[in-house]
Amino acid sequence: MKILFVLENFYPNIGGVETLFKSLTEQLVREGHEVTVITTRLEKEMPAEEMMNGVRIRRYPFFNRYTFTLFAVFPIMRHIRGFDIVHTTSYNAGLPAYITSRIFRKKVVITFHEVWGKLWFDLPYMGQIAKWGHYLFEQMLTRFRFDKFIAVSNSTADSMRENGIAEKRIAMIYNGLDYERIERLNNAVSKNNEKKSFTYTYYGRLGISKGLDILLDAAILLQKKYPDTRLKIIIPKTPKPLFDKIISYIKKHQLEDYIHLKHHLSSETLVSELKHSDCVVVPSYSEGFCYVAAESIALEVPVISSDKKALKEVISGKYIRMNELSASGLLEAIEKAMENEWENTPIKKFELKDTVQQYIDLYHNIGS
């Protein structure tokens, strides 16, 4: 079988989704399939084309995610002939992948990480016009007749149904984690048991649904009430407009000494930072799966969770649920953490090898 992946981001871009698709494409090659990835060329130093562990990667210099949506159709058209299936993801890669697949009469599947629906209008850091634009784009994408919409959790599958996607077009495949790699990283980090300030940590991508507004508002309350506590925020510097808003907020409220900002850490350094935190906070408005929570749990780092959407499915181990999605709700949860009032349940695992096998089975069913 020949499979063409259309992905806005791919390795060496680092993230849970990129890790999933790198593992999936390489496993498909090992099983005898031919795989090509069309993606963004993030830096000039990146080769425009290369073979990596049998996977052919073709990179194109799109200026941003929106130009990927508008212009990726042209490189896809150059390479789509001869492929049996096209696999893409929400959001920005979905439109060009679908249009081109239908023109060339190819099977096409999409992994949907989240479906927000009307939640778009409740999120911060975005103007009303932009909210309407993104909402309408998502509604358009859910109405396309992809051969399969792949939900990464039961919560995402439910959101698909609520937004009109037919049951027969939905398949649920959890995102997977490489637990052997996580264990190696965990074992390589020594835990420092010296007494220190209570430190709560946020890490992950910058996104408008991640509850960063709630986190920063809570930091003001915690700085006043518990000045010895500290917040670590580990984030990229992109997208720049959102990053600039966060920096501006920190300066405006004089949180520079209270918040420790870190960026672009290696895997080993990131794990060390997490292991030297008292907990990880996930104050999200919505999560389709949440690699941050699953990875933290695998590292045995306690998690404070908003308990929204898929977090109900993913959270296990030592955790505290926020009673309400607000700064005061997060403050209350952190106070419980400081008093060691954790819930404790058996750790759930989402094995990467199971995820990969389910995708392979799905391709065979669609292609047959």
Could you count the other beta carbons within 10 Å of the beta carbon of residue 79?
15
Per-residue model confidence (pLDDT) at position 368: 63
Per-residue model confidence (pLDDT) at position 195: 58
Per-residue model confidence (pLDDT) at position 7: 96
Task: Tell me the H-state helices in the chain.
Answer: 16-30, 65-71, 73-79, 94-103, 128-143, 154-162, 179-188, 212-225, 240-252, 267-275, 291-298, 311-314, 327-338, 352-367
Q: Which of 361, 363, 366, 357 is nearest to 176 (CA)?
A: 357
> What is the Cα gyration radius of the chain?
21
Per-10-residue mean pLDDT of the chain, 368 residues long, equals: 94 76 90 94 87 95 89 96 95 95 96 95 96 96 96 97 95 94 89 78 93 98 97 91 96 97 91 95 96 95 97 97 98 98 97 91 85
Per-residue model confidence (pLDDT) at position 250: 97
Per-residue model confidence (pLDDT) at position 194: 65
Per-residue model confidence (pLDDT) at position 14: 65
Our measurement of the distance from residue 324's CA atom to the centroid of its chain's CA atoms, rounded to an integer in Å, reads 23
**Phi, psi (degrees; rounded to nearest 5) at 230:** -140, 150
Per-residue model confidence (pLDDT) at position 12: 79
Per-residue model confidence (pLDDT) at position 238: 81
**Domains within the chain, CATH numbers bracketed:** 2-176+351-367 (3.40.50.2000), 179-345 (3.40.50.2000)
Per-residue model confidence (pLDDT) at position 196: 79
Per-residue model confidence (pLDDT) at position 354: 92
Q: Which of 91, 152, 110 is nearest to 314 (CA)?
A: 152
Distance CA 26, CA 229 (A): 44
